[in-house]
Structure 1
Amino acid sequence: MKMEVRLQKLIAGTGLSSRRKAEMLIVSGRVSVNGRIITELGTKVDPTRDHVKVDGKHLTSAQPFVYLILNKPKNVMSTLDDPGGRTTVKDFLRGVSVRVFPVGRLDFDSEGLMLLTNNGELAQALLHPRYHVPKTYLIKVKGALSNEEISRLERGVKLEDGMTSPSHVKKVRKVEANSWLEITIREGRKHQVKRMLDAVGHPVLKLIRIRMGPLSLGNLEPGEFRFLMDREANALRELIDERMTSVERGEEPATRPKRPIRREGWAKPERSKKFSGKKVKAT
């Protein structure tokens, strides 16, 4: 019985590239099937019978790449082990048979989205400062920021290790003497968001990472995780492909937000769409 799949899907499924880059490989004549160069997108092959080569090398299936999002709770280490015996993100990954590792870190007292994967190349690219992958945080701060203070954050503030790159700041709501903000940055300095808010006189009281690149925390409860859907994993790989291509061409990715900044009043907090797929809760 034949089990045919699209050629670009087969290539992407081995972890060699994203679906989009696989299409580019095909169109540029770098893929052959049974000794014949294939340049037509949509060509179907039977992986159990057909011999596929990319750049003259046989396409081989590596260990499947695994990607998952964890909502890291407060007072949990964002590492796989801790010499002090504190709770780590690994303690919430029961049932995950493949060894995955965190992409970046969140402070011990911070919460929110953490990506874990066994794809080391993609993880390294996501953390590379030249690729400017945006990260968005929902933050509770002491007091309420003025428009001028928000403008300072967006232009960049001077820290002990230099000026920060432009960011995007949105007022969310005010609660008694404190307030909530959303801030998007494209750098990864240590304690950066907390230091930026300290610099304008509004210490952070609570910090939750809600987005990273195309990924969103959604409605995961603290301590819950879920595996990425195919479209999310592809979007992640395609984002990195685009950033790497821009850098190779000498076109630094844009660091300024594209949408206009709202100044008037307090915006309603964004409501995440309910995730309809599998959700796993640690027990």
Structure 2
Amino acid sequence: MPPSKTPDDQRIAKMLARAGIASRREVERMIAEGRIAIDGVVVETPATLLTSLAGVTVDGNPVREAEAARLFLYHKPKGLLVTERDPAGRPTIYDRLPKGLPRLVPVGRLDLATEGLLLLTTDGGLKRQLELPATGVERVYRARAYGTVAQSQLEDLIHGVEIEGVRYGSIDANMERRTGANFWIELKLTEGKNREVRRVLEYLGLEVSRLIRTRYGPFALGDLPMGAIGEVRAHDIDSFRKDPTRLDLPQPARKQVSELSSPTPSAGAHRTPPRAAGNSRTRNEPEQRRWQTAAQRNAPSPLRGEGRGEGQSNRRAASNVAAP
């Protein structure tokens, strides 16, 4: 008879995912391939329960316990997919992120044509807390649109709207600035369904020419340059977890990591799933780098410019596995 489960027991696939080895699905594949063992005994099922990762190895290398959750702010440019790899070879965010980062998973998605704030985290629990509609985390977007709409129509979105059988929740939408037939709209929502902002504005007869996410909960894009990534301070993550609806965290709630100016790698680069594990990051890399190109210094911010507003490689590798 198997031992009864204790409150501290967790599935090995979940624990290895939290430790940064790979996603749960990838861990399950690694187990099926016989690559994971406990005290030298090959693990046969991802449902194996553990209280710690002591004695666990991946490809013969010992695994470290999961570190504290980390959260990064990335200013996603237009034209990048928020996915690990694309069968068509189109560029993804993982082609542009700097080397030396831990395994990061995106919080929600931004579509190919949408730019702005994308949160990336090392922790699945934090990801779920940020994403779940029940948590009530507010997202803020700024949309440049073409067409005709009245402020009263935007205000009606506060009651939600149903489009082709899909119900979209309350949206706080306000006109910001108009230039001829083009204008900027700020939208605040808590659901974040797939392409929600675009579909709602198209429902109102508007053509969206630019869409920027400027805030996710208390974490704001601010003046983070396009293509740059910064890290949220640990105590701000703790403050968010205690009260996910608070919006008064000090800004900027991040420390600069790096600004990127490298061109998109050729299609298919850095897309091979991890096989062997190695420790590819040191404690001080790359947190101390603060360089910026002249082009980035002179680039318009998404919060400035036109009026007020124009403006991992496969990181799923087992970076938390100790070197032999």
Q: State if a TM-score over 0.5 links the two structures.
A: yes
Alignment counterpart, residue 280 of structure 1, candidates 258, 268, 283 = 258
Q: 1:159: Cα distance to partner? A: 1.2
Q: Map of 1:1-283 to 2, 5 A cutoff?
A: 62-240=66-244, 277-282=255-260, 283=262
Q: Kindly indicate whether the alpha-carbon contact (under 8 Å) linking 1:135 and 1:185 is maintained by their aligned counterparts in 2.
A: yes
Q: Secondary structure at the match of 2:243?
A: helix
Deviation sequence 1:214-267 (CA, Å, 0-9, x none)? 100111122111111234322332234x79xxxxxxxxxxxxxxxxxxxxxxxx
* Letter of the structure 2 residue corresponding to residue 117 of structure 1: T
Shift of 1:177: 1.5
Checking the alignment, whether the CA contact within 8 Å between 1:142 and 1:204 is kept in structure 2 is yes
Displacement of 1:279 after TM fit? 4.1
For residues 218 and 171 of structure 1, what CA distance do their matches in structure 2 show? 20
Relative to structure 1, the CA distance from residue 234 to residue 276 in structure 2 (aligned partners, 3 Å threshold; closer, same or farther) is closer
Match for residue 31 of structure 1?
none
Please give the TM-score of this superposition, normalised by the length of structure 1: 0.63
- Checking the alignment, whether the CA contact within 8 Å between 2:81 and 2:92 is kept in structure 1 is yes
Contact 1:214 1:235 in 2 (8 A): no
Where 2:184 maps in the other structure, the secondary structure is strand
1:219–1:273 contact (8 Å) kept in structure 2:
no
Residue 132 of structure 1: how far off its partner (Å): 2.2
How far residue 62 of structure 1 moved from its aligned partner, in angstroms, is: 2.9
CA RMSD of aligned residues (A): 2.7
CA drift at 1:84 = 1.5
Q: Could you tell me which residue of structure 2 aligns to residue 29 of structure 1?
A: none
- CA 1:275–1:66: 2 relative to 1, 3 Å: closer
Partner of 2:110, secondary structure, is coil
- Larger relative contact order, structure 1 or 2 (CA cutoff 8 Å, min sep 6): 2
Aligned-partner SS, 1:115: strand
Distance in 2 between residues matched to 1:235 and 1:92, nearest whole Å: 30
CA separation in 1, counterparts of 2:257 and 2:147? Answer: 36
Residue 256 of structure 2 aligns to a residue in which SS? coil
Aligned-partner SS, 1:190: coil
- TM-score, scaled to structure 2: 0.56
Moved over 4 A (4+): 272-276
Q: AA paired with 2:146?
A: K
1-structure distance, mates of 2:254, 2:74: 16
Q: Secondary structure at the match of 2:125?
A: helix
By how many angstroms is 1:143 displaced? Answer: 2.7
One-letter amino acid of the counterpart of residue 235, structure 1: S
Taking only the aligned residue pairs, the percentage that are identical comes to 30
CA shift at 1:137, angstroms? 0.3
Give SS of 2:200's match: helix
For 2:147 and 2:239, locate their aligned partners in 1 and report how far apart those are by CA, in whole Å.
Answer: 37
Q: Is the 8 A contact 2:115 2:211 kept in 1?
A: yes
- Tell me: CA distance 1:81–1:276, structure 2 relative to 1, closer, same or farther (3 Å): closer
Of the structure 1 ranges 201-210 and 155-164, higher mean CA displacement relative to structure 2 is found in 155-164
Amino acid at match of 1:173: R
Letter in 2 for 1:129: P
User: In structure 2, do the counterparts of structure 1 residues 171 and 96 end up closer, same or farther at CA, with 3 Å as the change threshold?
Assistant: farther
Contact 2:70 2:234 in 1 (8 A): no
